[in-house]
Amino acid sequence: MTAGLHNAARYTIWRMASLVATLLAVSAILFAAVEWLPGDPAQQILGIHATPERLDILREQLNLNDSVPERYARWLWSTLQGDLGESVRTNQPVGAIISRPALNTAMLAVTAFAAITTVALLLAAFGGRRDGSRTSTVISVTTLSAVSVPEFIIAGILISVVGLELGWLPAVSLVPSDGTPFSRPEILVLPVVSLSIVGGAYGARLIRAAVADAARRPHVQAARLAGLTESRVLIRHLLPSAIPTTVQVLAFMVPFLVGGAVVVERIFAFPGLGSQLVDRVALRDAPVIEAIGLIQAAAVIIGFQVADAVGFFASPERRTAE
């Protein structure tokens, strides 16, 4: 017991430290990447007809003449203090620009994550517990087809059939200016369904493999031959072995939903973080790009850290190691 607690405490502290270290590394890479975007920001802002004098003044204002490490240090310091800076295009504070899209994306992502988890787990449990059965084959084929169709086609079909033809749900997901997506939940349905078909099928396939792997282990056969009920075999003997893989797969859904949802956001005209990022990259608006990148990276890293932690606590062998 004490060994277990001790391990858990040590594990948590270690994880926290590595989380901070990873975020720092990501922030440096992100800053460098934006720095290396082709073209001169001042030129882009002022257009090709700008005079050299005006360009020099703007470069001075943007601190572009300082060295990269210097500017990184300054940016990091103010970011740590909660100041994300101002847009170089509109001079609005970055926080104000990204807070609404971030909230919108968070609501879409949380809803879609819940849907994906449900779909993936159910399909995986039924498809994996008896490998080679008819259910298993049907699930395998269906999920493979779902994975192979690009999101924009699925979304397009949903829009034209459910949105336009039948008119059951809005075809575009515009968020009211005085509300959140949750104040008009119907706008979330089609984006969430599109994301869950692709993400859920992808997750189901990977988790199904882990479940099928666990189902082949001798202790699962032994549990069945001991006459235990199928639900007990599933819940106590089979699924726990699949937890570490399952949470890793689900963690992969975080980058898919936070960054990769841009296609779906665009199709449904959903004002999320992904769309915002694409717009700002086109504008070469470095402070906004860096802020969005950092938020996405943080979400992804936290997702994987949580998955690692769940995997750790779900495995007695690791938790109780002396």
Interaction site with another protein (CB under 8 A): 1, 7, 10, 131-132, 217-220, 222-230, 232, 236-237, 240-241, 314-318, 320-322
Shortest Cβ distance from residue 116 to another protein (Å)?
Answer: 25
- Closest C-alpha among 107, 262, 267 to residue 172: 267
Q: How far apart are CA 322 and CA 309, in angstroms?
A: 18
Write out the chain in H/E/C secondary structure.
CHHHHHHHHHHHHHHHHHHHHHHHHHHHHHHHHHHCCCCCHHHHHHCCCCCHHHHHHHHHHCCCCCCHHHHHHHHHHHHHCCCCCECCCCCCEHHHHHHHHHHHHHHHHHHHHHHHHHHHHHHHHHHHCCCCCHHHHHHHHHHHHHHHCCHHHHHHHHHHHHHHHCCCCCCCCCCCCCCCHHHCCHHHHHHHHHHHHHHHHHHHHHHHHHHHHHHCCHHHHHHHHCCCCHHHHHHHHHHHHHHHHHHHHHHHHHHHHHCCCHHHHHHCCCCCHHHHHHHHHHHCCHHHHHHHHHHHHHHHHHHHHHHHHHHHHHCHHHHCCC
Residue 99 or 135 with smaller CB distance to another protein: 135
Residue 58 or 211 with smaller CB distance to another protein: 211
Token reading at 228: 């235990």
Residue 255 or 311 with smaller CB distance to another protein: 311
What is the Cα 281 distance to its own chain's centre? 19
Shortest Cβ distance from residue 213 to another protein (Å)?
Answer: 14
Those residues whose C-beta lies under 8 Å from the C-beta of residue 88, and which sit 6 or more positions away, are 41, 45, 62, 284, 285, 286, 287
Residue 6 or 74 with smaller CB distance to another protein: 6
Residue 247 or 273 with smaller CB distance to another protein: 247
Shortest Cβ distance from residue 178 to another protein (Å)?
Answer: 50
Shortest Cβ distance from residue 241 to another protein (Å)?
Answer: 6
Residue 164 or 321 with smaller CB distance to another protein: 321
With the CA atoms of 11, 17, 18 and 20 taken in that order, what torsion angle do they form, in degrees rounded to the nearest 10?
Answer: 150
Residue 131 or 308 with smaller CB distance to another protein: 131
Shortest Cβ distance from residue 225 to another protein (Å)?
Answer: 5
Residue 28 or 235 with smaller CB distance to another protein: 235
Shortest Cβ distance from residue 244 to another protein (Å)?
Answer: 10
Shortest Cβ distance from residue 221 to another protein (Å)?
Answer: 8
Shortest Cβ distance from residue 227 to another protein (Å)?
Answer: 3
Shortest Cβ distance from residue 109 to another protein (Å)?
Answer: 30
Residue 74 or 219 with smaller CB distance to another protein: 219
